[in-house]
């Protein structure tokens, strides 16, 4: 046995580079598998632990105060049998602007007092100012933990919200563990003082919330339907169940972990392939030695083990280091999970989760190695002395040189490729796996290259620069025409403020409606066409797939019991609004809801227009909200200002309470005539979805871009190592042939080119297959996760394919550089 | 007097063996003339093969110059030497060194296509040369492992001359062949030489050396004897053998 071990150690010393490469691949493989094993459950557990510590109920729903009926609570208690249903009030601000470092970002916010928050969770402070310090602040705010861990807010930092062009400055007084509403894609729940709550009440929509523990089976959509059926009124309700919160917080993290599994698989397959390839070439190379050992009485099994022992050492070292790195990465991973979840994550490294991974990876590599090493049995001593049957080649002469084209190197390269078809298949598999992942990474990386712009394009909704929600009685078309007169405005559209329609037998959907679908920038049908008539509808891809709906099928909209049929004319990929959007013409919308008038004007600005300045201009022309005016906050200092403020307050009351649509006034004070009208009350709300989309999607875009970028580089390194080793072992195996070729006048460059070319047919085939796989995976991924239709970026596909092929060529060429070291003299005297 | 095609100036070649320098060729001045069939002889370890590789650009000298047709090749890098060898040198080896995975015809063309463009004429030339060496069409599609030693060496010779090299170098070309095959191979060399090919051959075999027109004897890293003979077949073979034998005996062979 000592001799066998010496043979293994001899092989190790002789092939240091290959041993290091196998150790590296095993290291990467074990490390990635280990990180996956340690952290997959941690992501889920971290959320669950944090949620449990928050003392939160598992669901709360929110209904605008005006629409709320006590019966809705009764339904929960009586029909659903939920106990301890608590209700309270909160302010809801869709796309609330927040200033930070001179930039305005928007989040969906609810604001509530500490007492009201206690009805949802315990409001446990993670980090906060002492009470006496909080009391000294004019306006304090306690934010959910996401702002600390993900957005990096600190105690004492300014937190200025912007609503309707007015700023409301707060000071961050603490961070609390919010079980629900701790996620940028949905809603944040912030605690403010009762005084500030009163101050903000006119500027936000006050809503009633109902909080309760519903369990996993609660269907809030069904609940809302039941409520509407009960009251006969329709309303826009929102629900925040734990499971959705968890999915939203953990989906991306899990996606990254699964991507790490793919990378591990590539390196794992590559490790196995390399080990098998190397064992074969070692056995062929050392055939005479095998013959001698067999002649001396060593069994084939013992000799096979000597080849496997070599990999016990190299993959063992790599596997153990990989496992240690996976353990050591725990604080780093905790930090990443903490940032991504926006929650505190404390978890020690669990060695028992890594050990099976290390043993599994090394064990599997060794099983494959042993399986290959058994080929020693094929060579009894006499055969081994004659170097097996390697030299007896009776194959058909494929690609004869008599028909060689202009390049002899190309021809010889292709001949070599066909001769080494088995090695080629292994390389092809590695390139296929790596190429598929790389292409997916590149699609995603390029999509997120400009932040969230790529995601915006697949949301399935128009993202205008600004949206004005108008006051009741205001003519949206007249406003639209008026806005078009402004030099900054490129285009306007009149629409409804994203109402929801119930669909018979299906999930409800947010409705997008326009007079006509021309010049659409983001709503682009992937199939069929836009609706043109009032009985037509276009649906989202998710709705189409989930309910097996095709163009020409019919869906029935149920609006308060009135049922209206629509023919489907097209399908749109849409990741917004539960992925269940509906698209109609304005006339089509009126068929289902004849009483509703369009109440929104979407504004698209010319290039280069400063949006902040334009918004200020809009506010100065179309004024503040009626609710704000009613609160009397705008009273100025001079007599004229005070009169105008009083008049505004009166107009606001007339408009909001009595439905007056137009008012003109004139007040004479001495010689002075003070006039005004209700024009400034045109605008109920001014929002920008750009800011909201930016705040919701930019963090996702940034981390995805980083991850896919790092992933692409990592794959590149792994592939480079694999190709380098393949080329290097190819040189070793063909040492004699290459020496002969050199003696014939082939330069090292010629021979390196031949080796690089020999890998091209399999590379090109693998890249074509990888392209097809990546296209499918990209489409399935985006649809399954976000319901979006992902078009294949053909230029990126082509460029990446070319880059992979070029990279493979260059890496193999460089890897074959060992040829330079073979002198003809060395060959002759060998 | 024929033209000098290759000459050396103070050529030295040494090897390091366990830190000890071994000087195999020492300050050697010599020249090879166009059209000669030069045979290099010497006792074992005298540096015959080392000299052959240095002359042919297969190996770099440690010092001194190798001037091939007016071009100094000693300072060329490996790739420059490879390109230089393509058009100027042909090689026949003792171990033959055919490419095992290529057919006879492809082995010949592998040597040819790195120098010349593929053409029906080139393929015909390869076939014609193979035919002349006694390898008929049936053998062209065979692999080296299907050939006898003599057949394989004939392929090696055709591969070496397909590009019409300035000098054909041969290192013990009959070293692994039986006597019948050796004779066939040497006949081919004689025929090639008659056609005007310059040949430099290393051998320790008297029968092989008889085919030459000039014998250089190497000892202690230098040429100590230079013996000239008429073309093979132009004189009496017995007398030729005796004369060469006597020269070699004088050299201490």
Give A463's contacts (C-beta < 8 A, 6+ positions apart). A456, A521, A522, A689, A690, A693
pLDDT tier for residue A387 given thresholds of 50, 70 and 90: low
Quick one: which H or E segment has residue B4? strand B4-17
Give CA–CA dist A767/A442, Å, rounded: 14
Pick from B89, B99, B113: which is nearest to A740 by CB? Answer: B99
Per-residue pLDDT at A635 exceeds 70: no
Cβ–Cβ contacts within 10 Å for residue B100, how many?
A: 16
SS (H, E, C) B67-132: EECCEECCCCCHHHHHHHHHHHEEEECCCCCCCCCCCHHHHHHHHHHCCCCCCHHHHHHHHHHHHH
A826, A830, B6, B12: CA torsion to nearest 10: 70
- In this predicted model, what pLDDT tens digit does every residue of A219-267 receive, in sequence order? 887 888 888 888 877 787 888 999 888 888 887 778 777 777 877 787 7
pLDDT tier for residue A636 given thresholds of 50, 70 and 90: low
Taking CB atoms and an 8 Å cutoff, what residues of chain B touch A400?
103, 105-106
Q: Contact at 8 Å (CB) between A718 and A270?
A: yes
A236, A239, A244, A248: CA torsion to nearest 10: 60
Tokens coding A736: 């004699």
**CA-based nearest residue in chain B for residue A420:** B101
A145, A148, A153, A155: CA torsion to nearest 10: 80
Q: How many Å lie between the alpha carbon of A17 and the closest alpha carbon of chain B?
A: 24
Burial class (CB in 10 A: 0-12, 13-18, 19+), A667: middle
Region at A232 (left for phi over 0; alpha for psi -120 to 50; beta for the rest)? left
Per-residue pLDDT at A294 exceeds 80: no
Percent of chain A with pLDDT over 70: 93
Q: Provide the ipTM.
A: 0.87
β partners of residue A140: A171
Out of A247-256, A789-798, B159-168, which region has the weakest mean confidence (pLDDT)?
A247-256
Give CA–CA dist A201/B65, Å, rounded: 99
β partners of residue A603: A466, A492
User: Mean pLDDT of all residues in chain A?
Assistant: 84
Closest CA to A743 of B144, B56, B162, B165: B56
Q: What is the DSSP letter of A399?
A: S
* pLDDT at residue number A627: 47
- The CB-side HSE value for A275 (13 A sphere, CA atoms) comes to 34
Tokens coding B100: 């095992």
* pLDDT at residue number B1: 52
Decide which of B33 and A231 is more confident.
B33
- In this predicted model, what pLDDT tens digit does every residue of A417-461 receive, in sequence order? 888 787 788 888 888 988 998 898 899 888 888 777 777 788 888
Tokens coding B9: 């100036």
Give CA–CA dist A702/A801, Å, rounded: 24
Per-residue pLDDT at A283 exceeds 80: no
Pick from B59, B79, B106: which is nearest to A748 by CB? Answer: B79
Closest CA to B237 of B215, B200, B206, B192: B206
* pLDDT at residue number B116: 86
The residue with tokens 């082995």 is: B107
Extents of the domains making up chain B: 4-251
- The CB-side HSE value for A538 (13 A sphere, CA atoms) comes to 27
A53 lies within 8 A of chain B by CB: no
Q: Contact at 8 Å (CB) between A490 and A606?
A: yes
A406 lies within 8 A of chain B by CB: yes
SS (H, E, C) A429-498: HHHHHHHHHHHHHHHHHHHCCCCCHHHHHCCCCCCCCEEEEECCCCCHHHHHHHHHCCCCEEEEEEECCC
A746:B82 CB<8 A: yes
**b vs e for A86-107, b when ≥16 Cβ sit within 10 Å of the residue's Cβ?**
ebbbbbbbbbbbbeeeeebbbb
Give CA–CA dist A264/A33, Å, rounded: 6
Percent of chain B with pLDDT over 90: 59
Q: What is the DSSP letter of B153?
A: H
**CA-based nearest residue in chain B for residue A392:** B145
Number of residues assigned to chain A: 830
- In this predicted model, what pLDDT tens digit does every residue of A459-472 receive, in sequence order? 888 888 888 888 77
pLDDT tier for residue A55 given thresholds of 50, 70 and 90: very high
| Mean pLDDT in residue range B132-155 | 91
Cβ–Cβ contacts within 10 Å for residue B6, how many?
A: 23
- The CB-side HSE value for A420 (13 A sphere, CA atoms) comes to 27
A824:B100 CB<8 A: no
* pLDDT at residue number A481: 93
Out of A115-119, A298-302, A824-828, which region has the weakest mean confidence (pLDDT)?
A824-828
Pick the CATH number of B4-251 from 3.90.1170.40, 2.40.10.120, 3.40.50.300, 3.50.50.100: 3.40.50.300
Closest CA to B94 of B13, B40, B152: B152
Q: Alpha-carbon torsion A439, A441, A447, A449, what sign? A: negative
A412:B110 CB<8 A: yes
* pLDDT at residue number A630: 45
Pick from B118, B123, B145: which is nearest to A391 by CB? Answer: B145
**CA-based nearest residue in chain A for residue B111:** A744
Quick one: which H or E segment has residue B12? strand B4-17
Quick one: which H or E segment has residue A189? strand A187-192
Cβ–Cβ contacts within 10 Å for residue A267, how many?
A: 32
Report the residue of A398, A402, A741 to disrupt the B interface, i.e. the one with the largest count of B CBs within 10 Å. Answer: A402
Give CA–CA dist A747/A345, Å, rounded: 60
Cβ–Cβ contacts within 10 Å for residue A818, how many?
A: 20
Q: Contact at 8 Å (CB) between B147 and B108?
A: no
B97:A825 CB<8 A: no
| Mean pLDDT in residue range A784-812 | 90
pLDDT tier for residue A345 given thresholds of 50, 70 and 90: confident
Give CA–CA dist A576/A689, Å, rounded: 12
pLDDT tier for residue A664 given thresholds of 50, 70 and 90: confident
A16, A18, A20, A24: CA torsion to nearest 10: 180
Give CA–CA dist A361/A349, Å, rounded: 19
| Mean pLDDT in residue range A350-368 | 87
A825:B99 CB<8 A: no
B82:A745 CB<8 A: yes
Alpha helices for A573-659 (secondary structure H): 586-592, 611-622, 626-630, 639-658
- How many angstroms separate the first and last alpha carbons of chain B? 29
Percent of chain B with pLDDT over 70: 99
Give B16's contacts (C-beta < 8 A, 6+ positions apart). B22
**CA-based nearest residue in chain B for residue A403:** B118
A408 lies within 8 A of chain B by CB: yes
B residues 53..112 contacting A (CB < 8 A): 53, 58-59, 78-79, 82-83, 85-87, 89, 91, 93, 97-103, 105-106, 109-111
Give CA–CA dist A343/A602, Å, rounded: 36
A825:B58 CB<8 A: yes
Give CA–CA dist A244/A221, Å, rounded: 13
A397:B106 CB<8 A: yes
Which stretch, A333-337, A701-705, A793-797, B21-25, has highest mean pLDDT? Answer: A793-797
Taking CB atoms and an 8 Å cutoff, what residues of chain A touch B109?
401-402, 404
pLDDT tier for residue A626 given thresholds of 50, 70 and 90: very low
A745:B145 CB<8 A: no
Closest CA to B80 of A439, A131, A749: A749
Taking CB atoms and an 8 Å cutoff, what residues of chain A touch B93?
743, 828
Out of A123-137, A153-167, A754-768, B99-113, which region has the weakest mean confidence (pLDDT)?
A153-167
A residues 746..775 contacting B (CB < 8 A): 746-750
Pick from B59, B101, B143: which is nearest to A825 by CB? Answer: B59
Q: How far is CA A826 from CA A16, A284, A348, B58, in A?
A: 21, 20, 57, 10
Tokens coding A693: 């989309």
SS3 of residue B225 by DSSP = strand
Q: Contact at 8 Å (CB) between A514 and A585?
A: yes
Extents of the domains making up chain A: 1-58+219-392, 63-213, 411-463+699-830, 624-681
């Amino acid at each position: 046995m000592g001799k066998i071990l010496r043979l293994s150690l001899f092989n190790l010393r002789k092939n240091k580079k290959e041993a290091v490469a196998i150790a590296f691949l095993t290291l990467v493989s074990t490390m990635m598998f280990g990180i996956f094993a340690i952290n997959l459950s941690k992501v889920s557990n971290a959320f669950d632990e944090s949620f449990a510590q928050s003392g939160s109920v598992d669901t709360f729903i929110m209904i605008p105060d005006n629409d709320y009926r006590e019966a809705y609570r009764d339904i929960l208690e009586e029909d659903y049998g939920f106990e301890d249903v608590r209700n309270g009030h909160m302010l809801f601000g869709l796309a609330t602007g927040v200033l930070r470092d001179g930039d305005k970002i928007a989040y969906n916010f609810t604001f509530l007092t500490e007492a009201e928050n206690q009805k949802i969770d315990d409001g446990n402070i993670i980090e906060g100012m002492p009470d006496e310090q909080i009391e000294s602040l004019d306006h304090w705010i306690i934010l959910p933990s996401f702002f600390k861990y993900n957005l990096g807010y600190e105690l004492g930092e300014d937190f200025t919200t912007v609503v309707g062009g007015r700023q409301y400055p707060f000071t961050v007084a603490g961070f609390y563990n919010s079980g629900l509403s701790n996620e940028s894609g949905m809603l944040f729940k912030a605690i403010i003082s009762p005084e500030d709550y009163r101050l903000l009440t006119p500027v936000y929509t006050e809503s009633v919330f109902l909080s309760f523990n519903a369990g996993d089976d609660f269907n809030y959509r069904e609940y809302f339907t039941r409520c509407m059926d009960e009251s006969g009124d329709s309303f826009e309700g929102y629900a925040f169940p734990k499971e959705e919160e968890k999915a939203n917080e953990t989906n991306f993290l899990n996606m990254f972990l699964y991507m790490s599994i793919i990378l591990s698989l590539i390196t794992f397959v590559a490790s196995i392939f390399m080990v098998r390839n190397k064992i074969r070439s070692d056995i062929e190379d050392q055939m005479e030695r095998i013959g001698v050992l067999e002649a001396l009485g060593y069994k084939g099994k013992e000799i096979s083990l000597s080849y496997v022992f070599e990999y016990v050492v190299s993959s063992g070292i790599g596997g153990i280091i990989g496992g240690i790195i996976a353990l050591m990465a725990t604080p780093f991973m905790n930090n990443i999970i903490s940032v991504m979840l926006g929650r505190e994550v404390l978890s020690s490294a669990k060695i028992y989760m890594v050990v099976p991974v290390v043993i599994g990876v090394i064990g599997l590599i060794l099983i494959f190695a042993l399986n290959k090493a058994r080929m020693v049995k094929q060579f009894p001593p006499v055969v081994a002395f004659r170097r097996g049957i390697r030299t007896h080649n009776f194959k058909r002469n494929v690609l004869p040189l008599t028909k060689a084209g202009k390049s002899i190197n190309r021809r010889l390269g292709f001949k070599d490729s066909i001769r080494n078809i088995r090695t080629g298949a292994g390389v092809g598999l590695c390139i296929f796996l790596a190429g598929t992942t790389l292409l997916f990474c590149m699609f995603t990386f390029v999509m997120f290259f400009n932040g969230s712009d790529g995601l915006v394009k697949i949301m399935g909704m128009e993202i205008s620069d600004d949206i004005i929600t108008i006051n009741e009685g205001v003519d949206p078309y007249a406003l639209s025409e008026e806005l078009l007169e402004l030099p900054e405005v490129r285009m306007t559209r009149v629409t409804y403020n994203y109402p929801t329609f119930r669909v018979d037998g299906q999930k409800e959907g947010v409705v997008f409606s326009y007079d006509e679908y021309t010049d659409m920038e983001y709503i682009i049908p992937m199939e069929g066409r836009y609706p043109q008539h009032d009985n037509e509808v276009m649906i989202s891809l998710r709705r189409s797939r989930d309910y097996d709906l095709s163009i020409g099928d019919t869906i029935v909209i149920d609006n308060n019991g009135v049922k209206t049929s629509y023919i489907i004319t097209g399908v749109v990929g849409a990741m917004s609004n539960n992925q269940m959007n509906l698209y109609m013409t304005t006339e089509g919308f009126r068929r289902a809801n004849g009483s509703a008038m369009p109440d929104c004007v979407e504004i698209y600005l010319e290039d280069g227009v400063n949006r902040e300045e334009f918004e200020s201009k809009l506010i100065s022309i179309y004024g503040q909200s009626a609710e704000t005016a009613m609160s009397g906050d705008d009273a100025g200092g001079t007599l004229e200002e005070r009169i105008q403020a009083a008049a505004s307050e009166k107009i606001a009351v007339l408009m909001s309470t009595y439905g007056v649509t137009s008012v003109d006034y004139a007040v004479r004070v001495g010689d002075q005539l003070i006039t005004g009208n209700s024009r400034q009350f045109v605008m109920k709300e001014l929002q920008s979805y750009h800011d909201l989309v930016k705040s919701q999607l930019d963090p996702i875009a940034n981390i995805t871009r980083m991850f896919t970028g790092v992933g692409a580089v990592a794959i590149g390194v792994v592939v480079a190592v694999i190709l380098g080793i393949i080329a290097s072992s190819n040189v070793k195996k063909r040492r004699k042939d290459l020496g002969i070729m050199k003696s014939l006048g082939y330069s090292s460059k010629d021979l390196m080119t031949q080796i690089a070319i020999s890998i091209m047919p399999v590379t090109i085939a693998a890249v074509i297959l990888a392209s097809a796989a990546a296209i499918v995976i990209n489409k399935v991924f985006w649809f399954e996760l976000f319901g979006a239709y992902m078009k294949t970026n053909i230029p990126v596909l082509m460029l990446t394919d070319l880059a992979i092929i070029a990279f493979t060529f260059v890496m193999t060429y460089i890897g074959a550089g060992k040829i330079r070291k073979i002198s003809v003299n060395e060959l002759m005297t060998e | 007097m024929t033209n000098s095609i290759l000459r050396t100036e103070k050529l030295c070649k040494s090897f390091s063996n366990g830190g000890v320098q071994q000087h195999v060729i020492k300050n050697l001045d010599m020249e090879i003339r166009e059209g000669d069939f030069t045979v290099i002889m010497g006792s074992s370890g005298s540096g015959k093969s080392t000299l052959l590789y240095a002359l042919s650009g297969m190996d770099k000298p440690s010092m001194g110059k190798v001037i091939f047709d007016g071009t100094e090749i000693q300072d060329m890098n490996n790739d420059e030497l490879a390109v230089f060898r393509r058009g100027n040198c042909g090689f026949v080896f003792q171990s033959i060194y055919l490419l095992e995975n290529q057919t006879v015809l492809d082995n010949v063309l592998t040597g040819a296509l790195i120098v010349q463009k593929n053409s029906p004429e080139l393929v015909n030339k390869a076939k014609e040369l193979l035919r002349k060496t006694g390898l008929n069409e049936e053998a062209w599609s065979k692999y080296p492992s299907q050939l006898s030693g003599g057949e394989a060496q004939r392929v090696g010779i055709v591969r070496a001359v397909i590009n019409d090299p300035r000098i054909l170098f041969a290192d013990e070309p009959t070293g692994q062949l039986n006597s019948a095959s050796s004779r066939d191979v040497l006949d081919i060399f004689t025929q090639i030489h008659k056609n005007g090919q310059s040949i430099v051959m290393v051998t320790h075999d008297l029968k092989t050396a008889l085919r030459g027109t000039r014998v250089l004897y190497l000892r202690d890293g230098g040429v100590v004897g230079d013996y000239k003979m008429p073309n093979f077949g132009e004189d009496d073979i017995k007398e030729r053998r005796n004369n060469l034998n006597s020269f070699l005996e004088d050299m201490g062979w």
